[in-house]
Chains A and B, each alone.
Chain A
Amino acid sequence: MSLESICAWLEHGTIGTAIAEGEWTFPIIESIHVIALCLVVGSIVVLDLRLLDRSWRSRAVSELTLDVLPWTWASFLVAAIAGFLLFTSAATRYIVDVPFQLKMLLMAMAGINMLVFHFVTYRNVHEWDKDHPTPAAAKIAGGLSICFWIGVVACGRWIGFTMR
């Protein structure tokens, strides 16, 4: 099965048609998507600024991560489900839309950045958790993360201009 046929199947399926045809389904799901994505980005920035040693230095990185990250993931789950539902309404057009493709690419890069940070840099967090400057690798991860997520939001808004 090709990507195009999967998209066509999604778009013509019950959910895809219902979202495309309902008068208020798309705006309602889109509102949920926007709010959830805002919470993902904002909460990640709280962590990124800590990694950049810019704010909340009085708090241990590991402690702040435990406080914030569960909410980031919960919001991400909501944003991803809502985003997928929006995608099904016009899957064949989204999949070839440049800002949409760029948005997916930037999210993948944000994911890779996060994995590298989590499995490499974060392993010796006890050495710089608190009262120590964060290492260069953590600062780079925080800076890249902010850039990628700003890009995700910008592409998301850009989709609104290419798809209407």
Chain B
Amino acid sequence: MLDHFCHWLSETPLSDFIQNVTWIIPLVQTIHILCVSIVLSSVGMLDLRLLGVAGKRVTISGMAARFMPWIWASLVVLLISGVILIVGEPARDLPNSAFQLKMALLISVIVVTLVFQHTVRRNANFWDLSPAHRHSAKVTAGVSMALWVAIAVCGRFIAYIDAQH
């Protein structure tokens, strides 16, 4: 089923175009990595603040206001560039277990990020209410960082794990 879809997709004129214009895939991959660097750094700044390790002169809501728009905007560009790469080489990505794990982790981290954003919007001081709240901020930051690192590793491993057939 998936093989069938990959085959069909790779035969479309758009896929053919992406495959045969040599600079498209390197260029789109470069844009993809630059957006990964914006997301990882933005998430890093936010999570270090939640952990109470860095940026303490700024409030958590101040950090969120500064970095959340960059995270969402980069995710949109990552989605578009990712789709272009998939259309260009569907059989490299879709059946690849590293790619599938990456997508599962990505959905998880988006849920974590949405919950974080919802919480900070409802009450900017939520994480300062009690020691238990402070603890939950640290757990959120730890989970988010771990997920993003795993997503980046899976992304790189797509190139090394042969797609299962």
Contact = CB atoms under 8 A, between A and B. Distances in A.
B17 to A, nearest CB: 19
Nearest to A70: B54
A31 B152 contact: yes
Contact of A153 (B33, B39, B54, B55): B33
Interface string B54-68: 110110000000100
Q: How large is the interface on B (under 10, 10 to 19, 20 to 34, 35 or more residues)?
A: 20 to 34
Given A27-B160, A42-B40, A67-B55, A157 B33 contact: yes
A9 interface: no
B156 A38 contact: no
Contact of B156 (A34, A39, A158): A34
Nearest to A66: B57
Contacts of B55: 67
B126 interface: no
Given A43-B41, A59-B58, A161 B33 contact: no
Given A27-B157, A38-B36, A67-B57, A46 B152 contact: no
A116 interface: no
Interface in A27-86: 27, 30-31, 34-35, 37-39, 41-43, 45-46, 55-56, 59, 63, 67-68, 71
Interface string B138-151: 00000000000100
Nearest to B54: A67
B29 A41 contact: no
B41 A45 contact: yes
Main secondary structure, interface of B, reads helix
Main secondary structure, interface of A, reads helix
Given A31-B153, A35-B40, A46 B26 contact: no
Contacts of A31: 152-153, 156-157
Contacts of A147: none
B30 to A, nearest CB: 5
Given A38-B40, A59-B58, 6 more contacts: A31-B157, A38-B33, A42-B41, A43-B45, A46-B45, A71-B44
13 contacts: A31-B152, A34-B152, A35-B153, A38-B33, A39-B37, A41-B37, A46-B41, A59-B58, A63-B57, A71-B48, A154-B30, A158-B30, A160-B159
